[in-house]
């Protein structure tokens, strides 16, 4: 369903370990939302000097107050700093729900949900949706330290299994999610992987899934300026079903992509064989896409 722009009232602002979880009353967004979609919020007030919207994956929607939307963020700059200072009853300009949601299997399947840091947030609404379809959800969550693992408790409570990794070993296994991936996939007999993590992790997840012939749905969190598709700031190279690589926008063509369609090694560049790349010839038959 088409996104809407609303003025949403802040309901709650909670500190959750290293993150802030904010709930906004936005019934029109809550009713349209499907797991994997995100919202874009204007920061800094009416006369703001910060012109880019800040995009956040939706953690959860609830039916109270007509419909609320919750998202999770860390303070990384002046924009998120301003947002963290908001209190209940402040009013935010919110656009959403944006982007394409996670596709879910038609039949019961064993699903592995991989999240790093605050990237775990959108996985819990997905897990609930998967449960409705009779799917099993296993969690594999990672972060640099224990206070940056988001939702470990919920994962343990709602998932069939939950494996936690931290770089400093302060919670769960020491290391990164990619170290544990193969073990978890084998133990859980995973049929499909959902991932929400930095590009380097998504690349590793997609590569491993390719070896096991498991489909991957990857949610990329590229920085965005508008969230609606007009600024063209969040493009990445994706191979289409016709075999042609195009620079597509993470905000409208994603943020969820099939892991085997994204050219992870070329993210941040314009591959020479991408449609319209310098030297690209329109009338020549397309070369192969072995890369």
- List, in sequence order, every residue forming a beta bridge with 8; answer none if it has no partner: 92
Q: Are 7 and 39 in contact (CB under 8 A)?
A: no
Decide: is 287 part of the binding site for other proteins (CB under 8 A).
Answer: no
* Interface positions, 2-21, toward other proteins (CB under 8 A): 2-5
Considering the complex, state which of residue 144 and residue 229 has its C-beta at the smaller distance from other proteins. 229
Decide: is 126 part of the binding site for other proteins (CB under 8 A).
Answer: no
Q: Are 264 and 203 in contact (CB under 8 A)?
A: yes
Q: Which one of 14-22, 57-65, 151-159, 265-273 is the stretch in contact with other proteins (CB under 8 A)?
A: 265-273
- List, in sequence order, every residue forming a beta bridge with 271; answer none if it has no partner: none
CB of 225 to other proteins, least distance (A): 5
Decide: is 128 part of the binding site for other proteins (CB under 8 A).
Answer: no
Burial of 90-129, coded b for 16+ CB within 10 Å and e otherwise, reads eebbbbbbbbbbbebeeeebbbbbbbbbbbbbbbbbbbeb
Decide: is 234 part of the binding site for other proteins (CB under 8 A).
Answer: yes
What are the two backbone dihedrals, phi and then psi, of residue 288, each rounded to the nearest 5 degrees?
A: -70, 165
Q: Are 160 and 79 in contact (CB under 8 A)?
A: no
* Interface positions, 16-45, toward other proteins (CB under 8 A): 42
Considering the complex, state which of residue 4 and residue 75 has its C-beta at the smaller distance from other proteins. 4
CB of 50 to other proteins, least distance (A): 6
Return all residues near 259 (Cβ < 8 A) that are at least 6 apart: 193, 195, 202, 205, 206, 209, 210, 215, 216, 217, 218
Among 100, 145, 252, 260, which residue interacts with other proteins (rule: CB under 8 A)?
Answer: 252
CB of 32 to other proteins, least distance (A): 12
Distance CA 181, CA 154 (A): 20
* Interface positions, 170-229, toward other proteins (CB under 8 A): 222-223, 225-226, 228-229
Contact residues: other proteins, CB under 8 A: 2-5, 42, 48-53, 93, 95, 222-223, 225-226, 228-236, 246-247, 252, 268-270, 274-278, 280, 282
């Amino acid at each position: 369903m088409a996104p809407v722009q609303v003025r949403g009232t802040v309901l709650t602002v909670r500190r959750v370990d290293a993150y802030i979880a904010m709930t906004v009353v936005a019934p029109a967004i809550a009713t349209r939302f499907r797991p994997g979609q995100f919202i874009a919020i204007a920061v800094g007030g009416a006369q703001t000097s910060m012109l880019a919207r800040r995009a956040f994956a939706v953690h959860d929607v609830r039916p109270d107050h007509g419909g609320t939307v919750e998202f999770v963020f860390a303070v990384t700059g002046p924009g998120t700093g301003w947002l963290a200072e908001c209190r209940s009853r402040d009013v935010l300009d919110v656009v959403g729900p944006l982007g394409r949601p996670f596709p879910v299997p038609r039949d019961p399947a064993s699903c592995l949900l991989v999240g790093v840091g605050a990237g775990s947030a959108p996985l819990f609404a997905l897990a609930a949706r998967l449960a409705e379809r009779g799917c099993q959800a296993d969690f594999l969550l990672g972060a640099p330290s224990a206070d940056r693992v988001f939702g470990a408790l919920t994962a343990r409570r709602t998932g069939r299994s939950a494996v936690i990794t931290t770089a400093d070993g302060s919670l769960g296994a020491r290391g990164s999610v990619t170290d544990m991936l193969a073990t978890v996939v084998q133990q859980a007999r995973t049929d499909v992987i959902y991932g929400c993590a930095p590009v380097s992790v998504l690349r590793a997840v997609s590569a491993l899934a390719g070896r096991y012939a498991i489909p991957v749905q990857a949610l990329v969190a590229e920085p965005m300026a508008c969230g609606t598709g007009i600024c063209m700031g969040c493009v990445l190279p994706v191979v289409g079903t016709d075999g042609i690589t195009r620079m597509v926008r993470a905000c409208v063509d994603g943020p969820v992509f099939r892991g085997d369609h994204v050219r992870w090694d070329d993210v941040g560049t314009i591959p020479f064989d991408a449609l319209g790349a310098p030297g690209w010839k329109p009338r020549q038959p397309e070369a192969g896409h072995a890369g």
